[in-house]
Amino acid sequence: MPSFNYFEEKPAVKKRQPHKRKPDKVIKQDSMKMVFEKFIEFKVAQNLRPPSLNKFIVLFKSLEAFHETRSEQLLYVESITTDFISDYVYWLKNECVKFENNNHVPDRMKTVGLADSSISTRIRSLKTFINWCVKKDLLQRNPFDRYEGFKQNAHEIDVLTRSELNNLLKVTKAHSNKSFKHFRDYVLLHLLIDGMLRITEALLVSPEDIDHVNRTILIRSANAKSRKSRLIPLSNKTYRLLNQLLQENEAFEGETDDLVFLSLSGRVLDKHNVLRDFKRYAKEAGIKKRFYLHLIRHSVATEYLRSEGDIESLRKILGHSDTRTVQIYLHMADSTVQERHANHGFFNGNNLTSRKRNNKRL
């Protein structure tokens, strides 16, 4: 007999089990390269300068190089855990080869292990990227929250003495009569010492930036590292030399860049070429210390404090926004401690009791 059950339009199925949502967000995985491209776009929109942007590019390339030593899989943002960071830092310190894929660098410079300062720069850049990922909900947790950190030795700067700076000036002055190029270098050195400028700031000074009434130079915000303009006072000699250079610049024929310091072709000077020439002057001046252009700024700032200049005026001249940044020069100028100890310490000549005795030992 037929069964008088109701006919179902759809076959009966078992009831679904209740579905519980995971408390954590489900995140779509994008490759590290895709995420980093968006990050760079964000930084470009923030108007970062090329040197700052290039630090992030160097970071990305080194992260990929490190990941390739561990896995053949794609690198994802989620791969950057606390352990990943620790292993990455160890690799930078003990296994990474400097300039490994740079064909323009000689093999003798391709050594293993980065300097502590370079590693610290990579870590700071990585922190910036990770913080951005957390804000964009691309990471649920910040791996740096449990990272113990990287300890680096304090960076000691071996500055030039006043005598060494004077020798450098004497050498450049002796060459200054040979050619326009040599005279330009002499004036440039004078400005670097007198104004304690960064080399890029000096090379971008325009004739319009010189105030002939107050004898100052304007460092425009577009050319300053701090992005804040500042006025630099000039000594009489530096001001006179700058005027002489401006007169010699009038001998250029045709179009030139609107700058004080010009190459022989009338264009902006390349700081690498300036470094090459100044290294020759330093060698001739008998300077044995490692020479680089920023060393002039370090050395004169240190001498400024040794000569009882105050730290606040030095901060303004150097263009730093925070006094703490200038503390390094205060530390380097602290040779006066030794002098004061010699004069006022317990065992100095003034505190010793003067008495005579028989010179023969018993």
- pLDDT confidence of residue 352: 45
Residue where a domain terminates, one of 122, 146, 170:
146
Q: What is the pLDDT of residue 271?
A: 93
Helices (H), 256-308: 271-284, 294-306
> Does 2 map to a domain?
no
Same domain flag for 135 and 171: no
Q: Which of 146, 144, 192 is nearest to 165 (CA)?
A: 192
**Does residue 361 fall inside a structural domain?**
no
In the sheet with 216-219, reading across from the earlier edge strand, the strands are 210-211, 216-219, 230-233
Q: Are residues 312 and 218 in the same domain?
A: yes
Number of domains in the chain: 2
Q: What is the pLDDT of residue 11?
A: 56
| Per-residue model confidence (pLDDT) at position 101 | 76
Instruction: Report the pLDDT value the prediction gives residue 203, as an integer from 0 to 100.
Output: 95
Tens place of pLDDT per residue across the chain (362 aa): 554 554 455 555 555 555 555 554 444 567 899 999 999 999 999 988 888 899 999 999 999 999 999 988 999 999 999 999 999 999 999 999 888 877 887 888 889 999 888 999 999 999 999 999 999 999 989 999 999 888 876 666 688 999 999 999 999 999 999 999 999 999 999 999 999 999 999 999 999 999 999 999 999 998 888 888 999 999 999 999 999 999 999 999 889 999 999 999 999 999 999 999 999 999 999 999 999 999 999 899 888 888 877 788 888 888 887 777 676 776 666 655 555 556 656 556 554 444 455 555 54
Cα separation of the two ends of the chain: 139
60, 121: one domain? yes
pLDDT for position 345: 62
For 153, phi then psi, to 5°, come to -70, 145
Structural domain includes residue 325: yes
How many other CB atoms are there within 10 angstroms of residue 319's CB atom? Answer: 20
Considering the domain architecture, whether residues 189 and 273 belong to the same structural domain is answered as yes
Predicted local distance difference test score (pLDDT) of residue 7? 46
Residue 27 counted as domain residue: no
| CB count in 10 Å sphere of residue 303 | 20
Q: Are residues 171 and 320 in the same domain?
A: yes
Confidence (pLDDT) at 171: 97
SS3 assignment, position 76: strand
Choose the final residue of a domain: 88, 112, 146. 146
Residue 112: CATH number of its domain: 1.10.150.130
Q: How far apart are CA 76 and CA 96, in angstroms?
A: 21
Do the domain assignments include residue 349? no
**Are residue 68 and residue 120 in the same domain, yes or no?**
yes
Does residue 172 sit in the same domain as residue 310?
yes
Full domain range(s) for residue 232: 162-336
In sequence order, the 6+-apart residues with CB closer than 8 A to the CB of 114 are 92, 93, 96, 98, 122
The CATH number that applies at residue 181 is 1.10.443.10
Which pLDDT belongs to residue 202? Answer: 95
Is 346 part of any domain?
Answer: no
CB 90 within 8 A of CB 122: no
Report the pLDDT value the prediction gives residue 13, as an integer from 0 to 100: 53
Shared-domain flag, residues 121 and 66:
yes
What whole-number distance in Å separates Cα of residue 73 and Cα of residue 70?
9
CA distances from 282 to 273, 274, 277 (A): 14, 12, 9
Three-state secondary structure string covering 97-159: ECCCCCCCCCHHHCCECCCHHHHHHHHHHHHHHHHHHHHCCCCCCCHHHHCCCCCCCCCCCCC
Last residue within a domain, chosen from 88, 115, 146: 146
- Are residue 140 and residue 179 in the same domain, yes or no? no
Least Cα distance to 119 among 62, 168, 161, 179 occurs for 62
Residues 209 and 170 grouped into a single domain: yes
Task: For residue 44, tell me if it sits in a domain.
Answer: yes
In a domain, 16, yes or no: no
Q: Residues 92, 201: one domain?
A: no
* pLDDT for 175: 96
- 69 and 188 belong to one structural domain: no
